[in-house]
């Protein structure tokens, strides 16, 4: 008895001290103008905070079908296998690879930034014989370069990033799908930073596999990775010799839950799907073309404003991505100090450079809910009034 009491007493004491040190948290106000996540739409946050229901609840099953239908609209596709993977964009990226790559077959990756390298890494891990073509960071591939590489390597899969978030380049997609059909390659496209913000047509462009994320153009928190697979990729999946070497991301299993059987695979992140349902509804209500135009207009205002302040943009205008702009850090400016200042004094997040562009650029995102005239004016005003303080005169003089 006394032992039990003593134990209880001890636990009670631990509990009390725990209560003293662990306070509820509050989140600082942030305007996320970096490479992602972007701010979530308030209506999406409301949807996320609704009470969860069971993942097989008839209400939820209906909501799943709506999410799929809305995703098909956002992507302009009729693909049956269109669903959000439970995970971030990289999980959906891995799903495209896991479900399409068979050991030893050739996968050709067109690399022009950081995310091409991630595709290369993943394809290698799934046993592909990976070949690459490369462009300097800030450039895009020309159609004849892609054609020459397809001719040379005859890959089973050709993978390319539509919107390279590490460089701010939007890859022109015209003609690539036709070439891939001609060479009997599947076309796999990263649409993480284009979905919802930049013209994107899965079916018209003959894209066989694509993925995206919830936290960039869709203005939902990170946590879901939209995935789509067309009929040619589905056929390859049906004919594959071995099992998909990833249980969690196996579309043939997932489709038994998202498709007609409705059998349990994993417990769906129900609230994340509430959130993306709302995010996709907002996009559909605005209209895809209207959303694309809004992103283009606001990006153009940003580009004009930055250039009139004497700043240089890293990407030539014809290839510039409306959702993400790379701004060259002037030689006499401490770029990191300016970003820190924006975060600490104004609650604004601006991204730095990755890889080859590390220390050379800022990355400024205007994605989804954040693509507004007010945000453009706010950030231009800060570049105008506060950047001069971060000029290092001694560097400028030397």
Ligand X SMILES: *Cc1c(COP(=O)(O)O)cnc(C)c1O
Does 190 bind ligand X (CB under 6 A)? Our answer is yes
Does 283 bind ligand X (CB under 6 A)? Our answer is no
Q: Least separation, in Å, of the C-beta of 37 and ligand X?
A: 8
Identify which of residues 164 and 208 has a Cβ nearer to ligand X in the complex. 164
Does 349 bind ligand X (CB under 6 A)? Our answer is no
Whether the Cβ atoms of residue 362 and residue 327 lie closer than 8 Å to each other: yes
Does 120 bind ligand X (CB under 6 A)? Our answer is no
Which range of residues in 5-13, 82-90, 94-102, 315-323 is near ligand X by CB under 6 A?
Answer: 82-90
Which range of residues in 51-59, 187-195, 352-360, 368-376 is near ligand X by CB under 6 A?
Answer: 187-195
**DSSP annotation string for 184-203:** T-EEEEE-TTTTTTS---TT
CB burial string 297-319: b at 16+ within 10 A, e below? ebbeebbebbeeeebebbbeeeb
- Helix or strand (DSSP H, E) at 240: none
DSSP 38: P
Backbone angles phi, psi at 326, to 5 degrees: -100, 125
108/6 Cα distance (integer angstroms): 66
Q: Least separation, in Å, of the C-beta of 310 and ligand X?
A: 28
Q: Least separation, in Å, of the C-beta of 190 and ligand X?
A: 5
Residue nearest to ligand X (CB): 89
Q: What share of the chain is helix, strand, coil (3-state, %, to 5)?
A: 45, 15, 35
Q: Least separation, in Å, of the C-beta of 323 and ligand X?
A: 9
Of 33, 74, 75, 89, the one binding ligand X (CB under 6 A) is 89
Residues within window 143-172 making contact with ligand X, judged by CB under 6 A: 161, 165
Does 94 bind ligand X (CB under 6 A)? Our answer is no
| Binding region for ligand X (CB under 6 A) | 36, 88-90, 93, 115, 161, 165, 190, 192-193, 213, 222
């Amino acid at each position: 008895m006394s032992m039990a009491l003593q134990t209880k007493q001890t636990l009670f004491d631990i509990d009390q001290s725990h209560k003293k040190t662990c306070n509820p948290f509050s989140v600082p106000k942030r305007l996320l103008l970096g490479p992602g996540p972007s701010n979530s739409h308030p209506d999406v946050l409301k949807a996320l905070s609704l009470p969860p229901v069971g993942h097989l609840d008839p209400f939820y099953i209906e909501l799943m079908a709506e999410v799929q239908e809305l995703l098909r609209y956002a992507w302009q596709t009729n693909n049956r296998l269109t669903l959000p993977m439970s995970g971030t964009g990289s999980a959906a990226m891995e799903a495209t690879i896991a479900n399409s790559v068979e050991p030893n077959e050739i996968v050709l990756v067109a690399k022009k930034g950081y995310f091409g390298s991630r595709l290369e890494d993943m394809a290698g891990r799934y046993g592909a014989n990976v070949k690459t073509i490369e462009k300097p960071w800030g450039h895009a591939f020309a159609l004849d370069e892609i054609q020459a590489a397809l001719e040379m390597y005859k890959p089973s899969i050709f993978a390319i990033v539509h919107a390279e978030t590490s460089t701010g380049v939007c890859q022109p997609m015209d003609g690539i799908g036709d070439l891939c059909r001609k060479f009997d390659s599947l076309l796999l496209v990263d649409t993480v930073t284009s979905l919802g913000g930049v013209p994107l047509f899965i079916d018209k462009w003959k894209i066989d596999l694509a993925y995206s994320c919830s936290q960039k153009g869709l203005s939902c928190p990170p946590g879901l990775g939209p995935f789509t697979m067309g009929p040619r990729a589905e056929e390859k999946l049906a004919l594959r010799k071995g099992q998909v070497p990833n249980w969690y991301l196996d579309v043939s299993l997932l489709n038994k839950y998202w498709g007609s059987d409705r059998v349990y695979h994993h417990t769906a992140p129900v609230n994340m799907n509430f959130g993306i349902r709302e995010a996709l509804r907002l996009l559909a209500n605005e209209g895809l073309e209207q959303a694309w135009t809004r992103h283009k207009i606001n990006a153009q205002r940003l580009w004009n404003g930055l250039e009139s302040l004497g700043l240089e943009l890293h990407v030539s205008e014809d290839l510039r991505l409306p959702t993400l702009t790379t701004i060259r850090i002037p030689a006499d400016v401490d770029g990191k100090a300016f970003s820190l200042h924006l975060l600490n004094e104004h609650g604004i997040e601006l991204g730095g450079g990755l890889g080859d562009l590390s220390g050379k650029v800022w990355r400024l995102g205007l994605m989804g809910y954040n693509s507004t005239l007010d945000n453009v004016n706010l950030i231009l005003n800060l570049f105008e009034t506060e950047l001069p303080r971060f000029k290092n005169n001694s560097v400028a003089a030397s």
